Amino acid sequence: MSDVNVENGKTTDVATSASRLEGRGLDLLLDIPLEVAVEVGRSRILVRDLLQLQEGSLVELDKLAGEPLDLYVNSRLIARGEAVVVNEKFGLRLTDVVSPSERIEKLG
């Protein structure tokens, strides 16, 4: 006896439904939105200094000019690269991609 599933008013075999999903593989994940961010640098400032910021103020960052920028996907470092301009928009040319094993190490 096989399991039965009622889907949209139609009766289908669960094994048939499972094989359809299995055939799609990663296709199910391809439309999940991810947050992508490029970080130029970081800085720590006192609240006093934050309250004094105004147009024209400079905030010194921890990276040197010419250093690679960091690419984060969902707050995880994925790659580093250099800033480029493409069709009057900023972009990032990847120069170093973090290996999957390094990404897994940082999860723990």
pLDDT tens digit sequence for 66-77: 999 999 999 999
Residues 44 and 62: their CA atoms lie apart, in Å, by 9
Taking only the tens place, the pLDDT of each residue in 12-21 is 555 555 566 5
The verdict on pTM exceeding 0.85 is: no
Task: Check residue 5 and give its pLDDT.
Answer: 47
Q: Which CATH class is domain 33-107?
A: mainly beta
Residues 34 and 19: their CA atoms lie apart, in Å, by 27
Cβ atoms of residues 72 and 93 within 8 Å = no
Higher pLDDT, 2 or 59: 59
Q: Residue 101 is which amino acid?
A: S
Instruction: Considering the chain, tell me which residue range(s) the CATH 2.30.330.10 domain(s) occupy.
Output: 33-107
Could you tell me where the DSSP H helices lie in 29-99? 47-51
Torsion sign, CA atoms 10, 24, 102, 62? negative
